[in-house]
């Protein structure tokens, strides 16, 4: 049975890599992604706050929230959860666009993501 070594990807762990040069590169790569996602997190924070303010005014006037804004906010909240998981090293895989997008907060990530590079056993 012939097995091929799995190819390293940018989402591989940056901690505990045996090669110091590769560990430094992976750490810098993760730091750059974390900075990008931190900025995106802050932008999304203001967008969600704006949606909340609009919804509060609409609920005060009509006693019902706007359904499309409710659905948009569900998706944005799930995405912010994915970003915070990556920023706090809970999840080693960066969120969308580097992985699949989650539909809403309660939805788990699809099984089989990320795809494995290990060949099936015979």
pLDDT averaged per 10 residues, the chain (length 122): 47 63 84 91 93 92 88 86 86 80 60 56 53
pLDDT reported for residue 53:
93
pLDDT reported for residue 4:
46
Any residues with CB less than 8 A from the CB of 66 and at least 6 apart, and which?
54, 55, 58
pLDDT reported for residue 41:
92
Alpha carbon 70 to its chain's center:
20
pLDDT reported for residue 37:
92
Overall number of domains in the chain: 1
User: Cα separations (Å) of 52 from 39, 48, 62, 106?
Assistant: 20, 6, 15, 19
| Structural domain includes residue 75 | yes
- Domain holding 90, by residue range, is 37-111
| Structural domain includes residue 1 | no
| Structural domain includes residue 6 | no
| Structural domain includes residue 13 | no
| Structural domain includes residue 66 | yes
| Structural domain includes residue 71 | yes
Convert 13-48 to b/e letters by CB count within 10 Å (16 or more is b). Answer: ebeebeeeeeeeebeeebeebbeebeeebeebeeee
């Amino acid at each position: 049975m012939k097995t091929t070594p799995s190819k390293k990807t940018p989402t591989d762990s940056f901690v505990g890599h045996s090669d110091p040069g590769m560990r430094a590169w992976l750490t810098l790569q993760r730091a750059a992604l974390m900075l990008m996602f931190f900025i995106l997190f802050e932008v999304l924070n203001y967008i969600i706050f704006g949606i909340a303010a609009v919804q509060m005014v609409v609920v005060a006037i009509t006693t019902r929230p706007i359904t499309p804004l409710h659905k948009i906010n569900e998706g944005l909240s799930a995405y912010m959860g994915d970003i915070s998981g990556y920023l706090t090293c809970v999840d080693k895989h960066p969120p969308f666009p580097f992985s699949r997008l989650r539909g809403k907060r309660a939805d788990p990530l699809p099984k089989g993501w990320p795809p494995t590079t290990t060949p099936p056993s015979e």
